[in-house]
Structure formats: C-alpha cells, structure tokens
Structure 1
Amino acid sequence: MSLPATAASPTATGIAARDIETVLHPTTHLADHRRNGPFVVARAEGTRVWDEQGREYIEGLAGLWCTALGYGVEELAEVAAEQMRDLSYTHLFAGKSHEPAVALAEKLREMAPIPYAKTFFGVSGSDANETQIKLAWYYNNALGRTEKKKIISRRRAYHGSTLGAGSLTGLPTFHKSFDLPLPGILHVTCPHHYREAEPGETEDEFAERLARELDDLIRAEGPETVAAFIAEPVLGAGGVVVPPRGYYERIQAVLDEHEVALIDDEVICGFGRLGTRFGAEAVGMKPATVSLAKALSSAYLPISAVLAPDSMVDVLVEAGERWGVFGHGYTYAGHPVCAAVALRALELMEERDVYGNAARVGNYFQERLARFDDHRLVGETRGMGMIGACELVADKASRAAFAPERGVGAHMERRCLEHGVILRALGDTVAFCPPLVVTESDVDEILERFGRALDDTLAWIEAGGGAS
C-alpha cells in the first residue's frame, strides 16, 4: 500500500523517496525515518564513501563494525565471480559438502582460539548466537543434564536481534514491545567501571564484585541449571565497554567452579579489531565455543560461523546414534561463494599485515582519542585496538548524563556527517570502528572532523538545543 502523500518526508526525492515508500529498516527509529528519509550511500572505495549527491565521507565505523579490509577490494570481487561460475550454490544439509566450505573450516581451525575446532556455518552474527543457544541445550540434553539450560549474559551486551540472540542482548530497545527476553536468559552487571562502579571502588575491586555477583547468581539459580555465560571481549553496540584488567580471569574461575561454559562472541572483535587475531587473546578469555561473523568476510558477503571443539562435537555425534538427524541449520550455511570470499579475505588480512597494522595504528588511535578527555562535553574516552568510544555527559564532575529526549548523541552523529565522517551514536556515546586498513593520516582526519562536530554540538547545547 502506498503511503499518503503527507506521510513521507516532504523533501525526499529519488532513492530516498523510493526508500520511504518501500523499505522497512532494521534497528531504525521508524517515525524519524519516515519524516526525514535515509542517508543514501552510492559507492565506496578503500576508506571512503560517497552519497548520492557525490559528497565524500571518511568511514569511521567500518560499515557496521565489519568492513575490515575497506571497500572495493577487486580480488574479492574476482573470487566471487569465479566461484559463481564454477559452483554458484550447493548446501551442507544431509551430509553434502564442497571445497570452499571445507577450506574455510580448515583455515578457521588453524586460527581458532580453541583447540581442534569444528565449524558450523551460518549467515549472520545473530544466527551464530542462536546456534550457540541450541548447541548448549542439545549438548546438555545429550549428556543427560536436562536442567542445565540457562544462559547468563550482561546488561548492555549485544548478541543479535533474533528471539534467542535478542534475549541474550542486554539492551532495552531489543526487548521492549517484543516480549523478550525468553525465560532462562539472565543478565548481570555490565563491566563498565565508569558507569557501574560504586563510589571509590577501584577497577580491581569492581572486577572482584562482578565475579561475586556472577557466582551468587549461579548458586541462587543452581549450577545444575546454568549452561553457559556469553560475552563479547569488548562490548560493542552497548557503548564500546572495555572490561577492567583481571575481569575475565575472575569470571573464568567462577565458571570453572560451576562447570559453566564460556561462549565467546567475537562477531565484532574477531579478526584484528583489538589488535590481535581474536579478542579473546587481547583480554584473556578462555572460551569453550566461539561466534564469528562481520570481518570473517570483511562484509563482502554474509557469512557467520560457530567454532566448537571436537570434544563437544563428539557428544553430538554419539547422540545421533540415539536421536537421528541433528535438526538445525540454514539454507545458505556455508554458501560456496560466501565461503570462497571469506577464505580469501582472511588470506589477504595475513598477506597485507592487516593484524599488524591494526595493532600499530590502533595504539596511535587510542592515544589520539584520549586527547578529547579534557573536552567539556566528554565524560570518558575508551577503547582497545581499533575500536573506541567517546561518552558525552551533561556534567563532567558528577558524570550526569543528558536527558534522553534531548537527543544529544543523535545530533552529534548528524554533525559528524556534516563534517564528512561516518560514526555512530549509541545513545550519547559516539562509537569509532574504522576499517583495519586505515593509516595514521586517516585517524587524524577522522578525529579532526569528529572534533569539529564535537565543538558544534557543545555550541548547540549551550544555545539550548534539544531542550524542551
């Protein structure tokens, strides 16, 4: 059904008007979108993006935390075209297989932060974490631990938006009006010292308190009912939260005591984002299973993966003797074109020393980002490697946040676009996640444009902007 003429943005033309008429957008304020229309991307190359008017922007968010190699890598286009000609599609159901999926699984086993990993393929980070839930349930059923099904996540975590993965997510937007979270999904405190610490509490004391909180919850629920704890090495969409030093070691000790598995959600942090191949290596996690997506193919095609150790898969195989078919999977799981492109993307990251660049330029980026700590609007800058955030506050001394209805973060994001840099506001926190191929010069440009937008936003606030 067409919209009434008064419903769409009165200034929208071309692609924008067509978009308003036909597209229902994910994770978007739909009323604002109908009023204002979309930001239309026309083309991209390297670390640059152009809109439909031909205006150039520097990419500061790697698309959606995912374009590690930057845009327009010709070799990946050629791999996709060649694979489409040779074998455009087959599947992995009922024991079928093909070379690209096997070769990618071999590469992931070689790289994995867990020993002897087998790969279960999917198409998105959400479905990877949905698979994690089902694997945990199936595995414990196979072992006769039929009550060991609860999964603990963290407030402000992001693990996807499907029913199960959306329940693991700890952000209200993904729960309210969707009747989530599902029963059996629990949440503990976000490990953000700046926002969650008690007055005078050191980072070490904070980490110890959060470990006690987890231990208390597992004991209260009954260890025999808790299957897993899921964590991003560094929280992404929840505001780029870097847990305090020693946090994961304390968490791991609690999990080990109660035989609770650690699920490592590497969808954002995997493949160099924290300056190491996997985020687990950077923060000291020792996962049982791993979720991958995004930079797995540098976002050139949709693909995800769950890595599980042989010891776990052996239990599933033995259960098959009793239960028959393992009834879980996706039509496009291990799609040959996606797998071929992902494998070549991982090879290019090694050949071009992308991990090394991420570590070197990541250090430079963190040092330059921290210079904004003295800005009147900034409560905290934070990050690790090539991911960072700048949290805007109404008062630095008290750390008081702006009233949400003022829309300070949204205004800041618009000002960033006006200054030619693509960043993302997560509430009033501005997130940075540039392609891993950026140079120090690119970092300077991103932060210089961000700084101008920050000054503009301060002037807007001082003039009463957003106040009712």
Structure 2
Amino acid sequence: MTQLKYNTEALRKKDKDHFIHPFTDFSTFNKEGSLVMADSEDIYVRDSDGKKYIDGIGGLWCVNVDYGRKEIAQAMADQALELCFYTPFGHVTTPPAAELAAKLAELAPDTLNHVFYGCGGSVANDTAVRIAHFYFNQLGKTSKKKIISRIDGYHGSTYMTMSITGVKFDHIGFDQHEDLVHNISCPNPYRRPEGMSTEAFCDHLVQELEDKILELGPDNVALFFAEPILGAGGVIVPPQGYHKRTLDVCRKYDVLYVSDEVVTAFGRLGHFFASEDEFGIVPDMITCAKGLTSGYAALGATILSDKIYDVISVPQAEGSLFTHGFTYSGHPVSCAAALKNIEILEKESICQHAKNAGDYFEEELKSLASLPIIGDVRGKRFMICLESVANKETKELFPPKAAVGDRISKRCQKRGLIVRPLAHMNVLSPPLTMSKTQIDVLVSILRESIIETTHDLKEEGYL
C-alpha cells in the first residue's frame, strides 16, 4: 500500500459537510462518508490512504484509454496556455473545436456530418430534443413534440433527460414531464414473458413501438430515444434485428431516431460508433460524451444528419438566430483532450484491442453464470452486467433488504476491485486497454466475492 499525501479524515469531513454528490444514498452517506480517490495509473486507481484498486467501471463508463496519459494532459496544458477559452457564440471558433467537429463527422456514420457541443451526455440528449422540436417547427409540423423512450433506458439527469430516462427508481421524489415523454417496454430478453421466444419477443417490441406512435398520433411524435445497449438500466442487449426494425418504424412515421451512444461510442464495443458498425443502423442523431475524452475533460456532442442540418440552418425569420447553446460549447481545452484521445485510440488500435480482449472479457465473465446466484451475465465486450437471483429457475429476485449488489461490490472493493452495484446487479465497464492477465485477476476477485456473498446469504436465510 502506497502512503499518499492526504489527510483522509479531513477530506471526508469537508466532503460530507459541503459536497452534494450525484446519486447520493442519504440513508448511508452521513454515516459512511465518501471513499476519497486520489491517484491513478494504467487501469488502477488509489484512494487517499494509498490502497490500489482495479477500476472495473472505468470512472463511470468513460476512462477508455486508461489513466495517466501524459499526452492528453500535455495537449490540455498546451491549449490552456495558448488559448484557454473564447466564446463560441455567433461566428467564432477555435482550432480544436473546428478540427474535432471535422474528425467526428469523419468517424460518424454516413450523413451525420454536423456537431453541436455541450458539456456531457445529459446536455447532448437535451440538445437533441430542443433541435428536434426546432426542426419540426421549421417544417411547419408544430405538433410533433412527443418523445418515446424505453423502460430502463437512461439518458441523463437534466429535467428533460431524466423525464426521458425510463429507470423508474431514479424518479422517486422528483418531478418529470409526463405528458411529453412516453415509455415502451424494456427490450430485455432475459425478462421476456415466459414461453415467448426471443424472435417473438422482438416482434412484440417492434409492434409496441408502432402501436405507441399510432396511439399518440404520428403527427404528435418527434423522437425515439434508444441506447444501442442500455447502460445504467442493466446493460441490456436488445434482440437481434431490433434496432433495424425500430428504425424502420420511425422512418415510416417521420419520427427522428436518436442513438444515445454516450456509453457505447469510442471503443467500448470495439468501434468508434456502435450504431452502424455493430448494429447496422444510421440514426438521425448520435449523442456522445464519456469516452469522447476518456474522462480527461467534460465534453459531449450531438451529431446531426445532413437532413436535419439542412432544415435548421435556414433562418426562420429576418434577423432571427438559432438561439441554443452554452458558454462552454466547444471548449478548446476539452476539444484538445478529445482530439488527443482519438489520436491514441487510432494510433494504438485500441478499438481492435477492445474487440479481441473484450471478447475474452465477455467470455470469462460469462463463466460466472455457473455460480448459484448468478442468473444472467449479459452485455458485450467491455460492457457487462451480472444479475443476481434467488432462484435461477424462476428468476426470482432477492428482497431489496438483501442488498446483494452492494454486498458483492463491497467484497470486491476489499479485494482491490471496483465494480458498480445497481440493486441486484453489478456492472463492469473497465478501461479498454486491459490485458488478459489483468482480466483474469478481475474475474478471480469477482468470483471470490460472489462465492463469499452467497455463503452469507445462505447463513442469513435468503437461500
């Protein structure tokens, strides 16, 4: 254990007294406080007491090229010294913002050639809504406002994007725009109706989307939001053919298809963008963030098709402006980080490595499905979820008070591995540079932690 230069208790007190964390569990926060993460290298992080962990969640789906990349830090420092910031409003740009927009257009599918910058995934999805409404207003289709998303889809935590998010647990105590947003079923094959084949389940899901559009009225529906693989809702891979068929339904009724690639882009599935390369679709918009800079700086982007841009780029009235944007849209330091991050991904063939090592990661984690409480191991490459169940035959869940996801996570942490608990699930999304040896260590720790958790659950009468 490396001794670092921090006073952990003092930091924990300052944090507890003043820092309101995203997704805080106030039932435990005041007692437990925060783990102070203070140092990093490669795929590892260290806390303020010097304990080292494998970062099995990649920061939060985002540290794709791993930690401690001096070239990214240097690119950011150089840009900050040269031009730390200048307003993007009106007709002003900076070299990194212009270069990155062109690079994203090159990497994105087909006619997605136009980039609007924000500060993260929530803002990118919020922007998608605002632009879509503006687009249909320009076309005179002013009633096309409503949004369709999936139960267990996650799209952000602004007021708008949390309304679009279909993870019902996240809505407890908060308001949302219920009339504007309408949910359809989660495309989770593991939880499909009993006796229904995967193919029939896909048919059902596609028909449900079409029925929802018809119920709301095609003239009233503007957008369908879909993560290629649902992330925070439990790493759910829809049935084969689902994306292509839902896109066809959207095309039929002039509904814009937003592919939320905040998690799946920039190598997590082995491609810069997964929509076309992995799932065979070219959506109307792609939203991205996280892996865009590998977490080195805050940046998000909404990438628009020529079809949309050609409409929104026509002045709506004499002297009018396209009045959407943010002070930090296209921030030059963040764009410099993204450009260097993409350069590393290309130069080191990290997407190809993510395919090869990711297939191994997926295969090794799926071996854990033989353990008594693991009902499903799902996902693809470096994006995997383990779902724990009390009964593998019936898929019955443990009661919430068993806190099985938390138990597994805490046992992993004691052994030097960070995994993410989501109720009865545990999610892994580590840096894409992991070696097979590092993967073996991760899987071994996770296996030991699940076995220990299973023993405790038996002792306490949950099994």
Q: TM-score range by the shorter chain?
A: over 0.9
Q: What is the 5 A alignment of 1:32-71?
A: 32-71=28-67
- 2:219 matched to which residue of 1? 224
Does residue 282 of structure 1 match 2:278?
A: yes
* Code of the aligned partner of 2:374: V
Once the two structures are TM-superposed, the CA of residue 402 in structure 1 deviates from its matched residue by 1.0
Is 87-96 or 111-120 further displaced after alignment?
A: 111-120
Q: Secondary structure at the match of 1:13?
A: helix
Asked if structure 1 preserves the Cα contact closer than 8 Å seen for 2:223 and 2:255, the reply is yes
Does residue 362 of structure 1 match 2:364?
A: no
Deviations 1:185-216 (Å, cap 9, x if unpaired)?
11100100111x11121111101100011111
Q: Of 249, 257, 261, which aligns to 1:254?
A: 249
Q: What is the 5 A alignment of 1:81-92?
A: 81-92=77-88
Does residue 329 of structure 1 match 2:334?
A: no
Once the two structures are TM-superposed, the CA of residue 182 in structure 1 deviates from its matched residue by 4.0
- 2:424 matched to which residue of 1? 428
TM-score using structure 1 length:
0.95
Asked if structure 1 preserves the Cα contact closer than 8 Å seen for 2:37 and 2:45, the reply is yes
Partners of 2:302 and 2:112 in 1: CA distance: 13
Q: Of 138, 142, 158, which aligns to 1:142?
A: 138
Partners of 2:119 and 2:461 in 1: CA distance: 42
Asked if structure 2 preserves the Cα contact closer than 8 Å seen for 1:208 and 1:250, the reply is no
- 2:391 matched to which residue of 1? 395
| Number of residue-to-residue matches in the alignment | 455
Q: Of 202, 217, 225, which aligns to 1:207?
A: 202
Q: What is the 5 A alignment of 1:16-415?
A: 16-195=12-191, 197-280=192-275, 281-322=277-318, 324-415=320-411
Go from structure 1 to structure 2 and tell me whether the alpha carbon gap of 1:421 and 1:64 turns closer, same or farther (over 3 Å shift). same
* Code of the aligned partner of 1:259: D
* Code of the aligned partner of 1:412: I
Partners of 1:228 and 1:261 in 2: CA distance: 5
Q: Secondary structure at the match of 1:390?
A: strand
Structure 1 segments, 4+ long, off by >4 Å, are none
Partners of 2:130 and 2:368 in 1: CA distance: 43
Asked if structure 1 preserves the Cα contact closer than 8 Å seen for 2:369 and 2:377, the reply is yes
Partners of 1:100 and 1:35 in 2: CA distance: 45
Go from structure 1 to structure 2 and tell me whether the alpha carbon gap of 1:205 and 1:323 turns closer, same or farther (over 3 Å shift). farther
* Code of the aligned partner of 1:452: E
Asked if structure 1 preserves the Cα contact closer than 8 Å seen for 2:315 and 2:321, the reply is no
Deviations 1:47-103 (Å, cap 9, x if unpaired)?
011111111111111110000011110001111111011001112112211111000
Once the two structures are TM-superposed, the CA of residue 42 in structure 1 deviates from its matched residue by 1.3
Go from structure 1 to structure 2 and tell me whether the alpha carbon gap of 1:191 and 1:180 turns closer, same or farther (over 3 Å shift). same
Asked if structure 2 preserves the Cα contact closer than 8 Å seen for 1:234 and 1:279, the reply is no
Once the two structures are TM-superposed, the CA of residue 325 in structure 1 deviates from its matched residue by 1.2
* Code of the aligned partner of 2:221: V
Asked if structure 1 preserves the Cα contact closer than 8 Å seen for 2:244 and 2:279, the reply is no
Asked if structure 2 preserves the Cα contact closer than 8 Å seen for 1:163 and 1:180, the reply is yes
Q: Secondary structure at the match of 2:269?
A: coil
Once the two structures are TM-superposed, the CA of residue 323 in structure 1 deviates from its matched residue by 6.7
* Code of the aligned partner of 1:85: L
Q: Secondary structure at the match of 1:249?
A: helix
Once the two structures are TM-superposed, the CA of residue 322 in structure 1 deviates from its matched residue by 4.6
Asked if structure 1 preserves the Cα contact closer than 8 Å seen for 2:133 and 2:145, the reply is yes
Partners of 1:356 and 1:303 in 2: CA distance: 24
Is 95-104 or 246-255 further displaced after alignment?
A: 246-255
Gap regions ≥5 residues in structure 1: 1-11
Partners of 1:294 and 1:169 in 2: CA distance: 18
Deviations 1:220-271 (Å, cap 9, x if unpaired)?
1111111111111000000000111111122122112111111010000001
Partners of 1:306 and 1:253 in 2: CA distance: 22
Go from structure 1 to structure 2 and tell me whether the alpha carbon gap of 1:417 and 1:465 turns closer, same or farther (over 3 Å shift). farther
- 2:5 matched to which residue of 1? none
* Code of the aligned partner of 2:77: A
RMSD: 1.4
Deviations 1:134-166 (Å, cap 9, x if unpaired)?
011110001000001111000001100001111
- 2:451 matched to which residue of 1? 455
* Code of the aligned partner of 1:318: V
Gap regions ≥5 residues in structure 2: 1-7
TM-score using structure 2 length:
0.96
Asked if structure 1 preserves the Cα contact closer than 8 Å seen for 2:390 and 2:462, the reply is no
Partners of 1:353 and 1:288 in 2: CA distance: 28
* Code of the aligned partner of 2:225: I
Once the two structures are TM-superposed, the CA of residue 370 in structure 1 deviates from its matched residue by 1.0
- 1:15 matched to which residue of 2? 11
Go from structure 1 to structure 2 and tell me whether the alpha carbon gap of 1:188 and 1:323 turns closer, same or farther (over 3 Å shift). farther
Partners of 1:292 and 1:320 in 2: CA distance: 28
Q: Secondary structure at the match of 2:315?
A: helix
